[in-house]
Amino acid sequence: DAGVIQSPRHEVTEMGQEVTLRCKPISGHDYLFWYRQTMMRGLELLIYFNNNVPIDDSGMPEDRFSAKMPNASFSTLKIQPSEPRDSAVYFCASSSAGTSDSYEQYFGPGTRLTVT
């Protein structure tokens, strides 16, 4: 398996522009997570899906952020309008429920977003 795939790997945009980040989870995984990582705050969960349905979006910072999962193999995280404080590395991760509570989350390589 190719693992979790994210695109683009790097994104530089100007303040006010719309940004769309993309994720393809590992085939067969039924959970998908979006995280944001900064030096100051570390890794933070933004939102996660189970079987394409959003379960918890309490980590989404504000209405400028939205996420969708139209099917089991694709998800997007959109920021509109973007602001300099959104600059961070955004990770997508996926996992399978399995039969144990000790599920494993597999992370993608991340998208480094810079908003100028």
Partner 1 sequence: KNQVEQSPQSLIILEGKNCTLQCNYTVSPFSNLRWYKQDTGRGPVSLTIMTFSENTKSNGRYTATLDADTKQSSLHITASQLSDSASYICVVSGYGGSQGNLIFGKGTKLSVKP
Give the Cα separation of 98 and 81 in Å (integer): 38
**Smallest distance from partner 1 to CB 42, Å:** 4
**CB-nearer residue toward partner 1: 50 or 81:** 50
**CB-nearer residue toward partner 1: 30 or 78:** 30
**CB-nearer residue toward partner 1: 76 or 81:** 76
What's the burial of 51, exposed, middle or buried (CB within 10 Å: 0-12/13-18/19+)? exposed
**Smallest distance from partner 1 to CB 60, Å:** 12
Q: How far is CA 41 from the centre of its chain?
A: 16
**Smallest distance from partner 1 to CB 58, Å:** 9
CA distances from 100 to 35, 74, 97, 103 (A): 23, 25, 7, 6
| Token output for 41 | 């705050």
**CB-nearer residue toward partner 1: 90 or 115:** 90
Contacting positions for partner 1 (CB under 8 A): 4, 31, 33, 41-45, 48, 50, 55-56, 91, 93, 95, 97, 101-105, 107-110
**Smallest distance from partner 1 to CB 56, Å:** 5
Give the Cα separation of 100 and 95 in Å (integer): 12
